[in-house]
Amino acid sequence: MFTQRPSFRYLAIGAVVSLFTLTFLIISTGAPGRASQFNLKPQLRQQYCAPPVNSSAGWEFVVARDGNNHGLSEDQCRIAFPKLFVEIDKSSTLRENKLVSYKELDSRTVDDGMVRAIIDRGEASETLIALLYIVDYAPMPVTASRARATLNSLHRALTAFPDRHLLPSIEFIFTTEDFAEHTTGSSPIWAYSKRDSDTSVWLMPDFGYWAWPEVQIGPYHEVRRRIAAIDDGETTADGTYVPGLKFQEKKKQLVWRGSLATNPPVRGKLLKSALGRSWASVRVIDWDNQDDIRFNLLPIEDHCRYMFLAHTEGRSFSGRGKYLLNCRSVVISHALEWREAHHAALISTGPDANYIEVNRDWSDLSPKIDYLIDNPEIAERIANNAVRTFRDRYLTPAAESCYWRQLVRQYSAACDFEPALFSTGRDGKTRLRGVPYDTWVLMH
């Protein structure tokens, strides 16, 4: 017995009928979430629905296991880092009654140091990922490495996420400058730092979470390893164990290295307050003088050999802050005007204090240093709190990726449009608006 094969004629007729049926379905219904791909004008956004809460009941963040995991679930991110998304929540609240329109976003010129990009989740299929496209890339004579570092970090946070197909599509603009200029309008922009008055700024992680080559600071994960080796010890390649430096064995001095040019009023007063003090190791670095750099530059991990670390703002935030907070030392900072993503976890008073705050003019620096030197157990408790709070939680690579994805989600919810990945030219041809990140990164 055998099954008779249908004749070719009937197969051909069936194929034609199927083709017409498929064409009709595509024209009448369109691809889910992609109705705008042949039209530059974005469509109204469908309400983003958060994925079901994962079964993370009883799950706890363990830094040794989870600290370098860039793919924690949304639920795990909330459990591990409850204070991490405060600034995103603030920006979302400001947009509750006035969603971001495409016209509003498009009104912002992509000036020097800015990047315009799209995250597109692709078709509604779990086999496709949220893809990053570069729509516009302005000249960057000074900050090009920042742009690459930022995009690398964002791309990593997207691709490492197992549920990346559930992330929304967005179109956004970010700046690689120290702060976002021209923020008096409502047009949204992502930046590394903001003041409370910068209501149009959405905070993003800074470039140093990838690397900071201009000041000879390498990859963030490697910096963390070197810092932990000083505080906790390490086993060398030949198997020799080198013990860490106990807190009470550290130099009982306040250390600071930097340029005065970026914030003369604040940094100049630090120098004045530390002048002639036996507890001070404060030096200015001239970044245009190679001899001065060789003599005065202190590797970032070697800051951790000091008991007290001074933190000052620059033109806006200071990128060194997160490195200092990785140390088992006492960070001493003037009152801050510029916010960063991890700042909601800062505590300056009480038994949970993880840093010391002084007046912005450093006028109370000396008595506070004297108090800490006379009460070493209090100083050590603050240093240990900093390690638990920042090195082992809010400044982990896992936290950074969690922040990126939450920024994408909540920024999406504040927009009323779905980004158009394709546009149609006057010649009737459909073109991709941006350059795929995988291609762009090879070109820059």
Q: pLDDT per residue over 58-69, tens digit each? A: 899 999 999 999
Q: For residue 357, is it within any domain? A: yes
Count of domains observed in the chain = 2
Q: What is the CATH number for 335?
A: 3.40.50
Q: Which residues pair with 120 in a beta bridge?
A: 131
89 located within any domain: yes
Predicted pLDDT at 288: 84
Cβ distance 186 to 126 under 8 Å?
no
Q: What is the mean pLDDT of the chain?
A: 87
In a domain, 5, yes or no: no
**What is the C-alpha separation between 247 and 26, in angstroms, rounded?**
67
- Are 151 and 224 part of one and the same domain? no
E strands, 369-426, are 417-418, 422-424
* Residue 317, CA distances (Å) to 179, 243, 258 in order: 8, 34, 13
Last residue of a domain, one of 372, 390, 408: 390
Whether residue 3 lies inside any domain: the answer is: no
Measure the CA–CA gap between 401 and 172, rounded to whole angstroms: 18
Output the pLDDT for position 17. Answer: 37
Q: Last residue of some domain: 366, 390, 414?
A: 390
Which residues contact residue 325 at a Cβ distance below 8 angstroms, ignoring those fewer than 6 apart? 331, 342, 354, 355, 386, 389, 390, 391, 395
One domain for residues 240 and 336: yes
* CA dist list (Å): 274 to 256, 263, 278, 313, 364: 10, 17, 9, 17, 11
Regarding whether 354 and 311 lie in a shared domain, the answer is yes
Give the pLDDT score at 304.
98
Domain shared by 331 and 414, yes or no? no
pLDDT at 293: 86
Residue 184: inside a domain: yes
Query: 10 lies in a domain?
Result: no
The range of the structural domain enclosing residue 196 comes to: 41-47+56-212+397-441
Same domain, 270 and 282: yes
Pairing mode of beta strands 131-137, 114-120: antiparallel
Strand partners, 284: 258
Flag whether 36 is in a domain.
no
Sequential pLDDT tens for the chain (444 residues): 333 334 433 334 344 334 344 343 333 333 333 333 334 555 556 544 444 445 577 899 999 999 999 999 999 999 999 999 999 999 999 999 999 999 999 999 999 999 999 999 865 444 445 589 999 999 999 999 999 999 999 999 999 999 988 999 999 999 999 988 754 567 999 999 999 999 999 999 999 999 999 888 999 999 999 999 999 999 988 999 999 999 999 999 999 999 999 999 999 999 999 999 999 999 999 888 888 888 888 999 999 999 999 999 999 999 999 999 999 999 999 999 999 999 999 999 999 999 999 999 999 999 999 999 999 999 999 999 999 999 999 999 999 999 999 999 999 999 999 999 998 888 888 989 999 999 999 988
Q: Are residues 208 and 221 in the same domain?
A: no
Angle between helices 376-386 and 365-374 (to 10 degrees): 100
On whether both 297 and 377 belong to a single domain, the answer is: yes
Examine the domain organization and report whether 251 and 274 are in the same domain: yes
Q: What is the pLDDT of residue 46?
A: 53
140 shares its domain with 205? yes
Note the pLDDT of residue 129: 53
- 304 plus 372 within the same structural domain: yes
Q: According to the model, what pLDDT value does residue 182 have?
A: 55
Task: Mark whether 130 and 71 lie in a shared domain.
Answer: yes
What is the pTM assigned to this prediction?
0.86
Could you tell me if 326 and 265 lie in one domain? yes
* Domain membership flag for residue 151: yes
